[in-house]
Structure 1
């Protein structure tokens, strides 16, 4: 051997490898640690110290996996190898490895958190990780849904259920694993649920718990073509009503906490002896400023007609000299100070405009 001959990495003893890591590993990762395929097969024999949880995914201890280990096993099975081509893992049905890990702080009890490429937890498991009380605990789930790109060559097997999408959303990291955003996870969960009560509880908690706005949920349900199911439609109606009530509460709080003049709430506007102009959520008669909350459900079959009606009403009011302020529930939730400033600006600008037409204000 010359001085230029590279040294081969010294294989770690199998017992030290298992003792130092509780999470699953892929066959390729074991090979990188010097464990051959034959040694892996020997360790995974019936009654052996290791077990194969999923194709190409090995748990380095006997006995049932923990919920955390199942999550990581499913992600290892579904994640694309960062160094592989598009067809990697096609023969076995799984990408063999994940090549990047994020180190933990010194003294931490857990090993590095893997960075999983093109895979994230979704469905009921994701909702549980997001903290949904209506979602079942992880140990009670027979399968864990994992979201992957549509063209990936993977199959549902064992505890891993493959969910495909044309465009992956940006995941949220929770408990060290990538998790689909709430709206997407809800749609994937609802796709597998048939109990109306469960669907309604999950959708209601999404809005009541402040996880997301109704419009975002309905967009995902519509994209998944779930709005033709009667029990989903019924739950969406409850969801929209819940979202509307929360948005109105935020609007009342914004007016009160930011010192805006008190408007008349939830009124219909009408020309004297003339046609009905439409309803608004708040109206300041002296300044001729109307405010509307956009709490439409954004269902495709209704959206065009609803938006056309909204635009017609707004144009008619503005032709009469009435300023219309349009707010969304999300803006009220995320930046109420800015929305209050928008309303205040409209009220202050009233003195610089021509007087508006006289309108009759009626309770709605």
Structure 2
């Protein structure tokens, strides 16, 4: 008899390798392996090992990164009322079978392929994000991070993973080294994982902006995020053969107050582009009062203001170029705009 494979009235062929090799006591029982048999096989020198309370690794060697992550999630789910979802003949439960939980922190950044995040196997702890009302105690290599509202997780390699901005906030909360914080935040923006303001929103929600080393990193991050968005705007104009605008200018009435700065301005057509670099979570909402008031003021003067977000520049640049082109073409049908003074920003 092969002691590495549980005798089972239920087939295991539909499970992934990791799901075959990491199981809870309850799952093993469903496959015909009693708790006593599992405990016997997990004795010192045996073919199995108990990697976490109630979670078994069905081979004697060290766990892989994937096995470690699934073990952490199985342990979390097994502590929920009713326990972890069971595999069926149709297939494994998938990420949703772990309940309201997601890998976060450095382990999540590793899953998001951050080069500045260490490999999962080198981490002393795997952080698991759970709702605040869950009564869970960190144990072994599992550390729980609680939140009032669970974000929508992303499934990476079958593992529910916190979005980048949330994973960064949970990572930064435990870091004191300014250079490490700066390196992680910079990679998030330069690598296109998320926008700077989305990160700042999560850091603010986690009350981390009172820490001097975090504030210093954020100042550089916002400047970098803005520069990246401006570069994408330049590329959109070039790639879609739009007329060259005046870049980064302030508009002012002759002898009057400043009307505000715009990122691109076509004076002959009186069309301006304003980059809205607020947090991506707000992009579907109406613009803030300050933006709305300035836009309305400019439009009362006959200047068309096109609002573009960094996310749309990145994901649908052709659509944004079409919006700008339409505004430029419509200029001929409008009343002439008021004369404004254009100054470099």
Q: What is the TM-score of this pair, normalised by structure 1?
A: 0.83
Question: In structure 2, how many angstroms separate the alpha carbons of the residues matched to 1:64 and 1:15?
Answer: 15
Q: Structure 1, unaligned stretches of length 5 or more? A: 1-11, 82-86, 89-94, 105-110, 299-305
SS in 1 for 2:98: coil
Q: Matches of residues 86-97 of structure 1 in structure 2 within 5 Å?
A: 88=81, 96-97=83-84
Equivalent residue for 1:330? 311
Equivalent residue for 2:283? none
Question: In structure 1, how many angstroms separate the alpha carbons of the residues matched to 2:256 and 2:93?
Answer: 71
Aligned match for 1:168, one of 150, 157, 161: 150
Equivalent residue for 1:220? 202
Deviation at 1:252, TM superposition (A): 0.7
Question: In structure 2, how many angstroms separate the alpha carbons of the residues matched to 1:103 and 1:242?
Answer: 48
Q: Deviations over 1:175-202 (max 9, x none)?
A: 2322111112111111111111111111
Deviates more, 1:341-350 or 1:21-30: 21-30
Equivalent residue for 2:298? 317
Task: Say yes or no: does 1:117 pair with 2:104.
Answer: no
Deviation at 1:307, TM superposition (A): 4.3
Deviation at 1:340, TM superposition (A): 0.8
Task: Say yes or no: does 1:16 pair with 2:5.
Answer: yes
Task: Say yes or no: does 1:100 pair with 2:74.
Answer: no
Contact kept? 2:3, 2:47, Cα under 8 Å: no
Equivalent residue for 1:272? 254
Q: Structure 2, unaligned stretches of length 5 or more? A: 281-286
Equivalent residue for 1:236? 218
Question: In structure 2, how many angstroms separate the alpha carbons of the residues matched to 1:117 and 1:101?
Answer: 16
Equivalent residue for 2:170? 188
Equivalent residue for 2:284? none
Equivalent residue for 1:5? none
Equivalent residue for 2:331? 350
Q: What is the TM-score of this pair, normalised by structure 2?
A: 0.87
The structure with the larger Rg is 1
Question: In structure 1, how many angstroms separate the alpha carbons of the residues matched to 2:186 and 2:36?
Answer: 52
Question: In structure 1, how many angstroms separate the alpha carbons of the residues matched to 2:182 and 2:213?
Answer: 8
Question: In structure 1, how many angstroms separate the alpha carbons of the residues matched to 2:184 and 2:26?
Answer: 39
Contact kept? 2:195, 2:279, Cα under 8 Å: no
Contact kept? 2:298, 2:305, Cα under 8 Å: yes
Contact kept? 1:27, 1:40, Cα under 8 Å: yes
User: How large is the Cα RMSD of the aligned pairs?
Assistant: 2.7
Contact kept? 1:289, 1:323, Cα under 8 Å: yes
Deviates more, 1:114-123 or 1:334-343: 114-123
Q: How many residue pairs align between the two structures?
A: 330
SS in 2 for 1:48: coil
Question: In structure 2, how many angstroms separate the alpha carbons of the residues matched to 1:323 and 1:39?
Answer: 74
Question: In structure 1, how many angstroms separate the alpha carbons of the residues matched to 2:151 and 2:205?
Answer: 13
Going from structure 1 to structure 2, the CA distance change for 1:356 and 1:326 (only over 3 Å counts) comes to same
Deviation at 1:69, TM superposition (A): 1.5
Deviation at 1:138, TM superposition (A): 1.4
Q: Matches of residues 194-213 of structure 1 in structure 2 within 5 Å?
A: 194-213=176-195
Equivalent residue for 2:234? 252
Task: Say yes or no: does 1:130 pair with 2:128.
Answer: no
